[in-house]
Structure 1
């Protein structure tokens, strides 16, 4: 996502002109168009999930491939329908993601080992994304690109740190030796559906509470440090405030989602 967002501000290709295109979204209208980060994200999520699970769970590969293609295609078409991207923007996003997956795939296992073993890994996960976000390319005018990039990078860093905490401090149980290499996906029953929805609701409530608490606290600290009026919403757009508060907030959200939510589930007796 960082590569895609930065590419927008470097290439500075405009979004489709209106008219003739009718733009159905207003929030990101100030951003540039090439490449489509929605196309990048949907392609990355769908196909990394497919690649990561095809040797772990038992399901027809063709079915998984079709679902990945359909999901990414629907997202790409939605960007055309809303008038936010051209076909070239979407194709550019898909091709960039395909190239990144191909280049990084050989290192997935190594990254996973570092995640679970190295005590210095969390430092790199925090310092590198924060440095990249703080040194985001300066735009000619304000757009939500930097804020969105910081949110995504911070959430990813938080999830990674949360997984590291789980493995490093043995907060997750290791699978039994008798566990088959390829597992069957459990059937969807009423009990399972109720359990999933309950765990989801509990997790969402905790995440929202953590997000609100950390956001308010980090903003108060930054406002006090830089002597900014608390109710000045424009101050949130300043580099020295926007990047730190969003990074701290969404890193906390990522850690909460991967570490504290499962702990709460176990405390409540939710398997």
Structure 2
């Protein structure tokens, strides 16, 4: 198990109340003196699989950069940055409760199960393999949510969510009994196809994922939709048969949360997984109990919220949706601080009895006295104070963040690993040897002959763009390869020291001090991660279980009590 401060830099943006022995200055983790951090922290089979996949990520990066550079425009930047929000956890978590409140319980449960599966399995694979996103530079990363870049790259959760939702919706349209308007059905199918393609291609365009990432993510999404179509209806009926059904489902969810792999870097995938697993527990428990009450109907499935827009009216329907959303935010805003007060003493007792289940990068309760107010601690549902800014961003779709350079610890380690690889290639080529499994490129040939030795920095890029390579496309691809591992933007003049990047043709050997300084320089480019507390896991699980219960039972019963329902009683 990795220690709680097991991060590239121990200095964090939010400092807890800890003992005086806590770190006071930035430092590199003592356990990361070698480039191959992942060989130390992953199991042998995980590291072996990662080594098989990393060459694919490195190979596709310059081609992604070429595609991005060829297609980029301000309009497309704005479009893909904006539409990426339609594949996020936040969009679905705000949209899904409305399905339940408007009587689309079957669709709502299907979407929750598929999206929770997508978040869990994509996060599981991400933390198991620790594959970084394609390097920046040469890629620009275009996003309206910079925090997304802190996650690993393989697979794409956006692609999994979008493909599962589109796959399921298209199948439901094909099997819908009402085909009185075939043109409308055809238009809706086209819309869902466009949605899935737009989200997945947008991840490539925005430089957030590679071809392998979106392919694996799309495959996960399609498989989850297929499983939901085969077993979803039977599962929904089984869930309301006995109290044992939600109990068994809850135990399975908790086991899945526990077996989620430990990442090698401080990756927030696990936080999102816990949140969605909490929602699954909430809707299952709520569905079982709501089916026993007089407020639910059994059509088309048990625990359906009775709703008829003609009977309720547009005004009343809008009020109940607004009220439901407000209650969700009030629940979240109220329970989080309460749990942060209640849980730490309980966790200290469990830790003293050695009954706690610590996770890497989460600070144990014995190491702090209280949890300070946290900002940006939730990627699923924003806090109420963040909503005005989100609405403002939606009103100005051209607002986005374009970044170049390492953003996460995984980015930094990949930058260092790629530099080290280029050094080995340079030394081998100058010695007349070609690295195993590596074809001789025109660039390596020129380097070996010494013709590029007087062309360091940007001149190297200029040379790559002139007569050394046969076609403009291959020339540009090799120039993007040169940018990989620099850690600075493509428009920044690059004159690397001979002891650092060794693109001058000289075989360089770094001293330990130079190696340490190089790593420190890269890591200082990153935003320092905040402290994450062990109680946050249970906090999220409880809060999001409550949100799931409010969506399927709590709010629908309240609507009937306050006169915003249909007046249905069995």
Q: C-alpha deviations, 1:108-134, integer Å up to 9, x for none? A: 222011112122122123222222223
Q: Counterparts in 2 of 1:67-216, with a 5 A limit?
A: 67-175=191-299, 192-216=313-337
1:48 aligned residue: 168
In 1, the alpha carbon distance for the partners of 2:163 and 2:544 equals 23
Distance 1:140 1:162, change over 3 A: same
Q: C-alpha deviations, 1:212-246, integer Å up to 9, x for none? A: 222222222212222542235699724x4232111
Which segment drifts farther, 10-19 or 127-136?
Answer: 127-136
1:5 aligned residue: 123
In 1, the alpha carbon distance for the partners of 2:252 and 2:198 equals 33
Q: Report the aligned-residue RMSD.
A: 2.7
Q: C-alpha deviations, 1:242-264, integer Å up to 9, x for none? A: 32111111011110111111112
Distance 1:50 1:251, change over 3 A: farther
1:36 and 2:162 aligned: no
Q: Where has structure 1 moved over 6 Å in runs of 4 or more?
A: none
Indicate the SS of the match to 1:28: helix
Q: Which structure shows the bigger proportion of residues in helix conformation?
A: 1
Do the aligned residues in 2 keep the contact of 1:28 with 1:143 (CA within 8 Å)? Answer: no
Do the aligned residues in 2 keep the contact of 1:40 with 1:97 (CA within 8 Å)? Answer: yes
Distance 1:52 1:160, change over 3 A: farther
Distance 1:100 1:247, change over 3 A: same
For structure 2, the 5+ residue unaligned runs are 1-117, 301-307, 349-364, 375-528, 566-570
TM-score, normalising length from structure 1? 0.84
Distance 1:127 1:112, change over 3 A: same
TM-score, normalising length from structure 2? 0.42
Which segment drifts farther, 154-163 or 167-176?
Answer: 167-176
The count of aligned residue pairs is 259
How big is the shift at 1:82?
A: 2.9
In 2, the alpha carbon distance for the partners of 1:153 and 1:57 equals 33
1:237 aligned residue: 532
In 2, the alpha carbon distance for the partners of 1:247 and 1:255 equals 12
For structure 1, the 5+ residue unaligned runs are 177-184
Q: C-alpha deviations, 1:148-196, integer Å up to 9, x for none? A: 11111211221222222211334303459xxxxxxxx979xxx954333
Do the aligned residues in 2 keep the contact of 1:218 with 1:249 (CA within 8 Å)? Answer: no
How big is the shift at 1:50?
A: 4.0
Which segment drifts farther, 110-119 or 50-59?
Answer: 50-59
Do the aligned residues in 1 keep the contact of 2:240 with 2:288 (CA within 8 Å)? Answer: yes
Do the aligned residues in 1 keep the contact of 2:317 with 2:564 (CA within 8 Å)? Answer: no
